[in-house]
């Protein structure tokens, strides 16, 4: 019998790619999503990729009774991957209570329901944002947690602590906290990808929307940072590689391979790429010219951060293998597909 995994936020960007990889690895997936930032037809597209339709329940993770009902309807769920969360840094500054309610209460509901329904493990979507500007690069999991730059970032830090405190108090559950660096790109089929609401805040959707003519110009936020070309440096990881990290992490929990009941892994490539380098690589990889201009710095931006993924490489046996060129080509293919389908 296939093992059942609940994926909250499973129609979202990282969630949908992870559902595909879970199904490809032999798991049965139940998606819970309130569709606040995703479309229901993602489920059809997942089915088209894998040949298997994941169960889908339109439930908000703030709804304790609704979630309880999902566990009752699908008995024997062994693991949860919890993606469902609000994730716009700027919006979180404007609406902190919305972010604290959504991101904290959802997790609390799940942690309360896990022992009740005998769910063994949870994988939590954390972020390299917990490191702030690290003193040492590449950054390892041992780096100190810095004061969060935004309510969004703070919810990631507090959620990590909520999980640790819950397990320390004797809850029988197991957890893996994955600290993502910057996920980009789309599935090679271009059937699923990132679909931002409104004007994109993140670099790659803004870049591909500029390349296709939806936006006039990409703004490069600052070229006076202390980096070789003056623009900020990030660790851009292909979303399918990131999705696969969730599968190995889930296997690790369910096969009792953990060293501690709570483990933390950096999920990045180990490679730092500047904004200007990324623009060049995009132009080279796709042959498309990009209209861009250097503007002032964006408030709250980290100057440079990239992962030391050694622990994930050795302990999880996982490595981000896709080149940045292939990753950027997948993002472009996805943008072209959105145009072809009349979505954007």
Smallest CA-to-CA distance from 221 within 198, 240, 246, 201 is with 201
Q: Toward ligand UFG, which CB reaches closer, 9 or 121?
A: 9
Q: Does 139 bind ligand UFG (CB under 6 A)?
A: no
Q: Decide if 152 is catalytic.
A: yes
Q: What angle do CA 203, 208, 213 make, to 5 degrees?
A: 125
Residues of this chain, 46-105, that bind ligand UFG according to CB under 6 A: 87, 89
The Cα 327–Cα 228 span in angstroms is 23
Contact 85, 106 (CB under 8 A): yes
User: Would you report the helix, strand and coil content of the chain in percent, each value rounded to 5?
Assistant: 40, 20, 40
Q: One symbol per residue from 194 to 223: x for binding ligand UFG (CB under 6 A), - otherwise; what is it?
A: -------xxx--x-----------xxxx--
b/e burial code for range 79-103 (CB count within 10 A of at least 16 → b): bbbbbbbbbbbebbeeeeeebbebb
Binding residues with ligand UFG: total (CB under 6 A): 21
* Among the listed residues 191, 232, 243, 253, the single contact to ligand UFG using CB under 6 A: 232
Q: What angle do CA 219, 222, 226 make, to 5 degrees?
A: 150
* Among the listed residues 17, 120, 187, 234, the single contact to ligand UFG using CB under 6 A: 234
To ligand UFG, the closest distance from the beta carbon of 95 in angstroms equals: 15
Token pair recorded at residue 213: 């003519």
To ligand UFG, the closest distance from the beta carbon of 156 in angstroms equals: 7
The CA-atom distances, in angstroms, between 228 and each of 271, 302, 306 are 14, 15, 15
Q: Toward ligand UFG, which CB reaches closer, 69 or 90?
A: 90
Q: Give Dmax over CA atoms of the chain in angstroms.
A: 57
Token pair recorded at residue 133: 């500007």
Q: Does 301 bind ligand UFG (CB under 6 A)?
A: yes
152, 180, 206, 236: the catalytic one is: 152
* Span near ligand UFG by CB under 6 A; candidates 14-22, 110-118, 122-130, 160-168: 122-130
Q: Does 182 bind ligand UFG (CB under 6 A)?
A: yes
Q: One symbol per residue from 148 to 177: x for binding ligand UFG (CB under 6 A), - otherwise; what is it?
A: -----x------------------------
Report the interface residues with ligand UFG, using CB under 6 A.
87, 89, 127-129, 153, 182, 201-203, 206, 218-221, 232, 234, 275, 298, 301-302
By annotation, the residues acting in catalysis are 152
């Amino acid at each position: 019998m296939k093992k059942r995994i609940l994926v909250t936020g499973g129609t979202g960007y990282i969630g949908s790619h992870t559902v595909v990889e879970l199904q490809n690895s032999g798991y049965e997936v139940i998606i819970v999503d309130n569709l606040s930032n995703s479309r229901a037809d993602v489920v059809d597209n997942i089915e088209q990729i894998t040949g298997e339709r994941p169960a889908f329940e339109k439930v908000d993770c703030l709804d304790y009774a609704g979630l309880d009902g999902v566990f009752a309807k699908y008995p024997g769920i062994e693991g949860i991957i919890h993606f469902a969360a609000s994730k716009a840094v700027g919006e979180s500054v404007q609406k902190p209570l919305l972010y604290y309610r959504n991101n904290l209460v959802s997790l609390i509901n799940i942690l309360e329901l896990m022992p009740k329904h005998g769910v063994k493990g949870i994988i939590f979507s954390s972020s390299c944002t917990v490191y702030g500007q690290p003193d040492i690069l590449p950054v390892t999991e041992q780096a100190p947690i810095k004061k969060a730059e935004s309510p969004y970032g703070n919810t990631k830090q507090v959620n990590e602590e909520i999980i640790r405190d819950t397990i320390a108090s004797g809850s029988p559950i197991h957890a893996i906290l994955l600290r993502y660096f910057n996920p980009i790109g789309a599935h090679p089929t271009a059937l699923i990808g990132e679909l931002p609401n409104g004007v994109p805040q993140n670099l790659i959707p803004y870049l591909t929307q500029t390349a296709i003519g939806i936006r006039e110009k990409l703004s490069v936020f600052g070229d006076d940072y202390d980096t070789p070309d003056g623009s900020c440096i990030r660790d851009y990881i292909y979303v399918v590689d990131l999705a696969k990290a969730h599968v190995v992490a889930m296997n690790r929990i369910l096969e009792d391979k953990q060293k501690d009941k709570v483990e933390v892994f950096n999920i990045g490539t180990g490679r730092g790429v500047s904004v200007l380098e990324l623009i060049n690589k995009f132009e080279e990889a796709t042959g498309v010219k990009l209209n861009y201009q250097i503007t002032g710095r964006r408030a709250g931006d980290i100057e440079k951060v990239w992962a030391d993924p050694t622990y994930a490489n050795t302990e999880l046996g996982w490595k981000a293998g896709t080149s940045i060129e292939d990753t950027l080509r997948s993002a472009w293919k996805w943008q072209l597909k959105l145009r072809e389908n009349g979505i954007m």
